[in-house]
Structure 1
Amino acid sequence: MGSITVTNLGKAYKQYPARSSRLREWLLPFQGPQHKLKWILQDINFHVAPGEAVGLIGINGAGKSTLLKLITGTTQPTTGSVYMEGKVAALLELGMGFHPDFTGRQNVYMAGQLLGMSVDEITALMPEIEAFAEVGEYMDQPVRVYSSGMQMRVAFSVATARRPDILIVDEALSVGDTYFQHKSFERIRQYRRAGTTLLLVSHDKQAIQSVCDRAILLDGGRLSREGPPEEIMDYYNALIADRENSNLQLLSRDDGKVQVVSGTGEATVSHIALLDENEQPVEVIDVGSTVTLQVTVLAKAHIPRMVLGYMIKDRLGQPMYGTNTDLQQLPLSDVQPGEANVYRFRFNANLGAGTYSVATAIVSTETHLVNNYEWRDLALVFTVVNMRRPYFEGSAWIEPTIEISRAPA
């Protein structure tokens, strides 16, 4: 079992005003430093427990890749320390360590030895590596003729040929095709179940929320926030909106979860409820029952065009279904300050048993990129139970009609 402990970690680079300043600092040390420090990371502290999966997120330039290089030892820290226990496999950059003129097979031997495997061990694992990479005859072709996706296939296959105690994966998986991404994440989940500690960097919300136990947000080279993946991803999305001149609020719910609300505040959801067929508010519903999501939107300013959308998410924050009144061709025009509008969305809750949440968005078009009046995560939480249907697996109730006939001899 592996673990990662990061203590007061920081990384800075020297910036000189001119080329001669570097030489002057070296030849005339008594004149003092000729450089300024540019801090990329500062005061980073966290611990990844054995068997835990942690997602690392942040906008480009937040310091994610630098942090991974410090953790894996490819870059030395300016301050602080990193302690890791166990065998480590890291996939930081696409084809890192691959020589373009060597074949894929030759590069597998080189990369495998860098990971601490012997030649005999790599030879024994080679059939499995080839089978998982699925690059066929290209395994014996120079890497320079590989596509980026093929490089990723070979790099991931050799990095995970044997189960490591610690697996560190950067954004490299994002260049692969959908099929291989699914295949790779299934191997990651398999290793997780076997006890591998995982540190994953990704902008893929579903990947973070489906694989990780916890998420860490880096912002401006500092650890901004950490917590449950859904909460951190919601905060991250709201943080981006906040930088687009929107407001950002964190509200504590009665169930202990943190609700993220962002937007300009020119309109707000003043009331939301899930109603049964008798128009009564409910928090627990049966699979397939008919319900109505009733949302009251209060305008606080003049809004030329107003659109309301909602998204139903499962307990991991993955979207089950979402739509809005723009997609349904029902936007409202010329909404006046103080005006309240009640929206009623009636549907059959063909969901599997479990806990779900509803996020709402008040915008002017089909997305929140033009005008984000309000984005509210965890606006409503409800539970689906199976009281009348045959047992089934999954997050959707799609009951089939089954026909069975005997095939002719």
Structure 2
Amino acid sequence: MDERIAPLFSPFALRSLRLANRIVMAPMTRGFSPNGTPGADVAAYYARRADTGLIITEGVGVDHPAALGGSGVDGDNAPHMYGKAALEGWRAVVDAVHAAGGVILPQLWHQGVMREMGTGPHPEVESVRPSGIWGPLDRTAMVSPHYMETVAGEPGRPMSDSEVADVIASFARSARWAMEIGFDGIAIHGAHGYMIDNFLWEGTNRRTDRWGGDHRARTAFAAELVRAVRREIGPEPVVNFRFSQWKQQDVRARLAETPQQLAEVLGPIADAGVDIFDGSQRYFDRPEYDGSPLNLAGWAKKLTGKAAQTVGGVGLNSGVYDSKKTGGSDAAVENVHKVAERLARGEFDLVGVGRAIMHDPEWTRRIREGDELLPFDEGSRLVLT
């Protein structure tokens, strides 16, 4: 093994989690679960990647009628974590990954304001939005013009206290069921302009009650949700929490403009029971704040004392929106050397790899053994390999 990447293959242990290496298959929406139920193809897809230290599944809808909706991968073919058929499907996924020697967490997900009303498993229910708004309509958004004209501009209303409580309870129920069918912990999607992020970000949370206010006050929903999940799963399983600065409503959004503000956001969530903060950014090697080389995950670890997971173009030679074909080059390998060096320095503890592992189930082995990396092709998003 190349000594420069050796830190990636050191073991990691936290609570009941035991990993053979520090590489994490990052969550990526796939949309191959008709009626919300993963089949044998999904089980095989994840099992083929069991060589990674940890697998975090694609976003899985929680037990709330407005959790999922939209066309394509965000519609009827997105998986959920409730109902006999879906739970048995996920049990088969977990069993296949475990049989292959892997470790797996489900990423529990509620689309919040991003859900398209009239679609999904329950098209009859309205979407729920913390303050009734989708977000600023004059920013650079990651959605189509048609979406901006329809979903973003749809009128809404603030969620009631009972609706807020229902969403929190839905995460807790789905977390309990996930542990009952054998998952090794829980990952929570709190980023990218979805429900939990809707409460954290001032662009979607204008509330003046207990769920709104300044940076710290806006964490009340996320913290209460994490506490509810922790009560259901007990003290031993890990809780991984993804957060981001950017939002689909505004790719230049900043959840926190300064380290102090970030501490105000992450501190209450950490105290509620999070073990690992997954700092999602486009490029892992971009400093988050002036005057320090730390990236988003690095700041999360520094400010909370919790373990941190980085992500953002690892194993590729360009960012997620920069090129259709990237990967098999000296630049991509050098990219891996850089992230391993930062891991060795203790900036973060785990390294999320998304597109590269989605495209090539042998990616972890290739890195370990020094084999040439395969060029990434955007078309791999359309198939399960």
TM-score > 0.5, shorter chain as reference: no
| TM-score (normalised: structure 2) | 0.31
| TM-score (normalised: structure 1) | 0.30
Higher strand share: 1
Higher helix share: 2
The structure with more radius of gyration = 1
